């Protein structure tokens, strides 16, 4: 999933700089895409001394823990038994994490097949927050990164998330590991070394809370450079897409009615599960148009909703989502080429294309705004400068300018949940209903009509009890 290009442009766009795209990299415009510039960070140096043989222990002496044993114990206590059965913390007397290796240069693709307790081998410069959270939720046992997880360009959030979850992270092991390991090999990650059996297949830099803190502090100094790149990218984007941004030229016609309605745009990004859960009362009452951006369609299905529309380049959305009946809008290159359209047609579905130099979440907002949505609620999207940079690109000009274009219509899901939260608790409603019921029963019993109504109610009650008893006999 790693793509060294630092641009924010979508499929087919010419970058502001001139990075060399990696063959097979995904089109820009997908919110899950990671990108980053090549870093000049040098591999970590050897630290510490090699332990010799332990002296014989006295009968009552507590055994000294081997390096990494404390972490292994914490993982064993934290993870369920099914994880341990995969070999996460085998009692083989060796330090570190021993498990099956899963290899992929695209972190997003690897997390789809990652099993709890396995070792993820990735190639991801500046590991972002969304990818790290996906690895944690997949129950990864350890992460081995070919590239630096913090290159120093900006203070990215991914490494800290892994370490907070007590997951070992080894950085900058070099690309040779992809030739020395195969999918499904048993490996052991101990400190900064990766073993296959007794063979050392890679060495890197073991990240700790201390090293990450130092790297993030140094990376903050690089924000000024990133802001300059952001501004340059913004000007380039304005030149290319001024007709779309100003007049909405190029927005396709869709059959889903958006005029006069709310639109809920879901991106599988920051805390999307929590946001969807808090918005359930809002969705139930306002019935907004549900728009899933690539994997956001699967997020809606997981939450029990069927998306009305799916927007994206179709590289990270499941077949189940594409065949659920939602209208499909394929994000295309600026010249009209749409690689994702072939997949849609193979599934027997029709789609419209939206050529634009923007991210997929941006074109979803532009589409909703152009078709007359009165309010756009965003779930899992990027909301501040750190999150823009944590997307893994030198500048997210399209995202910044899209928010200027949409203006006051756009509301973050967290804001909606705070504004919409009901002041009446569930218990208050129950007590209210109970009080009303008692009042009605009392009124009927005390009135002259009670002598007539009471036998009828008693007959209904006995009939109900008889029917209920018959279900279990």
389: exposed, middle or buried (Cβ count in 10 Å: 0-12, 13-18, 19+): buried
Q: Is residue 216 part of a domain?
A: no
pLDDT at 278 over 60: yes
413 and 339 in a common domain: yes
For the chain, the helix, strand and coil percentages under 3-state DSSP, each to the nearest 5 = 40, 15, 45
Number of domains making up the chain: 3
Please enumerate in sequence order all residues whose Cβ is within 8 A of that of 380, keeping only pairs 6 or more positions apart, or say none.
31, 266, 267, 268, 269, 270, 271, 272, 275, 296, 299, 413
pLDDT at 73 over 70: no
Phi-psi region for residue 304, left (φ > 0), alpha (ψ -120 to 50) or beta? left
- For residues 390 and 235, the model is more confident at 235
Q: Is residue 38 part of a domain?
A: no
Q: Is residue 59 part of a domain?
A: no
Closest CA to 370 of 286, 264, 254: 254
CB 444 within 8 A of CB 450: yes
308-339: string of b/e by CB count within 10 Å (b at 16+)? bbbbbbbbbbeeebbebebbbbbbbbbeeebb
Give the β-pairing of 410-412 and 375-379.
Answer: parallel
Q: What is the CATH number of the domain that holds 137?
A: 3.50.30.10
* 416-437 average pLDDT score: 70
89 and 188 in a common domain: yes
Domain coverage including residue 400: 227-420
pLDDT at 256 over 70: yes
CB 289 within 8 A of CB 373: yes
Determine the 3-state secondary structure of 382 from DSSP: coil
Q: Is residue 218 part of a domain?
A: no
- For residues 271 and 11, the model is more confident at 271
Helices (H), 115-253: 129-137, 158-164, 177-180, 209-219, 223-247
237 and 186 in a common domain: no
Q: Is residue 58 part of a domain?
A: no
237-271: string of b/e by CB count within 10 Å (b at 16+)? beebbeebbeeeeebbebebebeebbbbbbbbbbb
275 and 191 in a common domain: no
297 and 177 in a common domain: no
272 and 411 in a common domain: yes
Give the β-pairing of 205-207 and 375-379.
Answer: unpaired
- Residue where a domain stops, chosen among 207, 236, 252: 207
266 and 171 in a common domain: no
pLDDT value, residue 415:
65
Phi, psi of 223, deg, nearest 5: -65, -35
Query: CA 409 to CA 262: how far, in whole Å?
Result: 9
* 265-292 average pLDDT score: 89
Query: CA 298 to CA 385: how far, in whole Å?
Result: 27
Closest CA to 111 of 140, 88, 87, 89: 140
DSSP 315: S
pLDDT for 147-167, tens place per residue? 999 888 778 888 999 999 999
- Residue where a domain stops, chosen among 207, 240, 261: 207
pLDDT value, residue 60:
39
Query: CA 376 to CA 392: how far, in whole Å?
Result: 25
Q: Is residue 199 part of a domain?
A: yes
Q: How confident is the model at residue 94 (pLDDT cuts 50, 70, 90)?
A: confident
pLDDT value, residue 89:
43
Query: CA 329 to CA 350: how far, in whole Å?
Result: 9
231 and 358 in a common domain: yes
Give the β-pairing of 193-196 and 186-190.
Answer: antiparallel
Q: Is residue 415 part of a domain?
A: yes
449 and 356 in a common domain: no
Q: How many Cα atoms are found within 13 Å in the side-chain-facing hemisphere of 141?
A: 32
pLDDT for 331-362, tens place per residue? 998 888 898 999 999 999 999 999 987 788 88
Q: Is residue 28 part of a domain?
A: no
Instruction: Tell me the pTM.
Output: 0.56
Query: CA 100 to CA 86: how far, in whole Å?
Result: 8
- Residue where a domain stops, chosen among 175, 207, 239: 207
pLDDT at 4 over 60: no
189 and 272 in a common domain: no
pLDDT value, residue 154:
76
463 and 385 in a common domain: no
Closest CA to 357 of 267, 253, 239: 239
313 and 296 in a common domain: yes
């Amino acid at each position: 999933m790693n793509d060294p290009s630092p641009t924010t442009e979508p499929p087919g766009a010419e970058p502001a700089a001139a990075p060399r795209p990696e063959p097979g990299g995904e089109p820009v415009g997908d919110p899950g895409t990671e990108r980053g510039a090549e870093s000049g960070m040098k591999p970590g140096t050897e630290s510490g001394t090699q332990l010799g043989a332990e002296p014989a222990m006295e009968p009552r002496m507590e055994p000294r823990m081997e390096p990494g044993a404390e972490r292994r114990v914490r993982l064993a206590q934290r993870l369920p038994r099914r994880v341990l059965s995969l070999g996460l913390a085998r009692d083989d007397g060796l330090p570190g994490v021993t498990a099956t290796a899963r290899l992929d240069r695209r972190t997003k693709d690897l997390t789809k097949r990652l099993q709890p307790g396995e070792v993820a081998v990735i190639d991801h410069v500046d590991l972002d927050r969304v990818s790290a959270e996906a690895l944690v939720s997949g129950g990864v046992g350890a992460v081995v990164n070919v590239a630096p997880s913090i290159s120093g360009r900006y203070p990215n959030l991914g490494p800290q998330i892994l370490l907070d979850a007590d997951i070992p992270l080894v950085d900058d092991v070099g690309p040779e590991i992809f030739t020395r390991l195969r999918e499904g090999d048993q490996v052991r990650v101990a400190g900064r070394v990766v073993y296959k059996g007794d063979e050392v297949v890679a060495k890197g830099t073991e990240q700790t809370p201390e090293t990450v803190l130092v790297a993030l502090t140094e990376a903050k100094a690089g924000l000024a450079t990133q802001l300059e790149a952001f501004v340059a990218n913004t000007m380039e984007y304005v030149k290319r897409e001024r007709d779309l941004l100003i007049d909405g030229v190029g927005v396709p016609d869709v059959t889903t009615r958006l005029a006069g309605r709310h639109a809920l745009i879901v991106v599988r990004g920051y805390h999307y599960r929590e946001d969807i859960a808090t918005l359930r009362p809002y969705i139930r009452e306002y019935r907004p148009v549900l728009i899933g951006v690539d994997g956001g369609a699967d997020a809606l299905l997981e939450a029990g909703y069927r998306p009305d529309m799916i927007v994206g380049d179709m590289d990270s959305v499941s077949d189940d989502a594409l065949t659920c009946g939602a209208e499909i809008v394929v994000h295309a290159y600026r010249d009209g080429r749409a690689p994702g359209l072939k997949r849609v047609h193979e599934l027997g579905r029709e789609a419209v294309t939206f050529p634009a130099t923007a991210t997929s979440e941006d074109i979803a907002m532009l589409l909703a705004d152009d078709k007359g949505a009165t309010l756009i609620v965003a779930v899992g999207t990027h909301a501040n400068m750190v999150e823009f940079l944590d997307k893994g690109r030198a500048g997210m000009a399209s995202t910044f300018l899209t928010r200027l274009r949409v203006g006051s219509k756009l509301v973050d899901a967290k804001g909606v949940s705070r504004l919409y939260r009901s002041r009446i608790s569930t218990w208050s409603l129950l007590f209210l209903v109970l009080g009303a019921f008692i009042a009605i029963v009392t009124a009927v019993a005390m009135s002259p009509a009670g002598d007539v109504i009471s036998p009828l109610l008693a007959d209904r009650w006995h009939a109900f009890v008889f029917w209920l008893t018959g279900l279990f006999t």
